[in-house]
Amino acid sequence: MIFEKVSGRECDSPRLQSKKLQIKKLEKKLKFYRQIQSPSLRLISEKGENLGVVSKEVAFDLAREKGLDLIIITSNTDPPVVKIGDYGKYLYREQKKASKQRKSQKFSKVKNIRISLRIAQHDILNKTNQAIKFLNKGFRVRLEIVLRGREKRLQTEAREKISSMIFNIEKEVSLQQDSEIKKNPRGLEVIIRKK
């Protein structure tokens, strides 16, 4: 194990701690062969060949002869499907598969574009172009209009301003609104994204 000295005492490095957590999560998901309850099992060899339905003891003996482990693939079926293989390698492959899935997931962040009621027409064009850039990159965009003081009475004008901005954006990009224009403590907001 890798240890770092921190002020005279030993502790795991943060990187090692996160690896340990990942391994623990995977081990909870994967059942080891000692936890097999069913008397008969559908056995798959380390090469992927189906060896048929065998008893639990025969499957353990085959795994011991080859110096490998029994890994439960699916426990929902009757009999459960197990595979002969190296548990460490299987755990490693599952860990790599999980990290690959995490990397391939696309988290759509929300980008904020804030305008005021007194914004000039040219500034609206700049904000519209910025929103189009964000939408084309795959982000969701929150259009927010801030109302201060007496401006809070002018919510209809604020709705019209946001609606016109959405209309200008729709000329360039096909949009989908996550929600209607809604009131928040600072003013009005709406979240849009590309279809």
- Amino acid, single-letter form, for residue 167: F
What does the alpha-carbon distance between residue 2 and residue 16 come to, in Å, rounded to a whole number? 8
| Residue 89 main-chain phi, psi, to 5 deg | -65, -40
Give the pair of three-digit tokens for residue 95.
């860990």
For the stretch 80-103, pLDDT in tens is: 888 888 878 888 888 888 888 877
Phi, psi of 12 (to 5 degrees): -70, 145
Q: Please, are residues 140 and 111 in contact by the beta-carbon 8 Å criterion?
A: yes
Question: 177 is written with which tokens?
Answer: 């609104």
- Summarize pLDDT for 134-161 with one digit per residue, the tens: 999 888 999 999 999 888 888 899 999 9
Q: What is the pLDDT of residues 32-64, one digit of tens each?
A: 555 677 888 899 988 888 989 998 888 888 888
Quick one: what percent of the chain has pLDDT higher than 70?
79
Domains of the chain: 28-103 (3.10.20.80), 110-194 (3.30.110.10)
